[in-house]
Amino acid sequence: MADTAPHLDGNCLAGPLSEILSVEPTAAWWRCPECARSGPLADLHVYGPEPGLTARCPGCAHVALRLVREERYVWLTLGGGDGAFRFAVA
């Protein structure tokens, strides 16, 4: 079934995302979709560093995010999903 709903392209996300991606990361809060626990970034249990960093919920160990550095790019996966965002970095 084709999506026939009107939509904008992904460029409309640039402004809203720049508001959250340019802030101090330690000010961020997370919420676990598995057990509903929430808290500051510092509460997450982080494993790594190779092949990347994996942050897990301290309550149920569900993956909160994965961050992998690959030469000129940083890959960011939110939650345990299969999709990822790739950001070019200096």
1 has pLDDT over 70 = no
Q: Which of 89, 84, 48 is nearest to 70 (CA)?
A: 89
| Residue 20 in this model has a pLDDT that exceeds 80 | no
Query: In terms of pLDDT, which residue wins out, 5 or 69?
Result: 69
30 forms beta bridges with 39
- pTM for this prediction: 0.81
Two structure tokens written together for 4: 């026939």
**Average pLDDT over every residue of 69-85:** 90
Per-residue b/e over 55-64, b at no fewer than 16 CB within 10 Å? bbbeeeeebb
Tokens read off for 70 = 């690959």
Tell me the three state secondary structure of residue 41.
helix
Q: What percent of the chain has pLDDT over 90?
A: 54
DSSP tag of 17: H
Provide the pLDDT confidence category of residue 56 given band limits of 50, 70 and 90.
very high
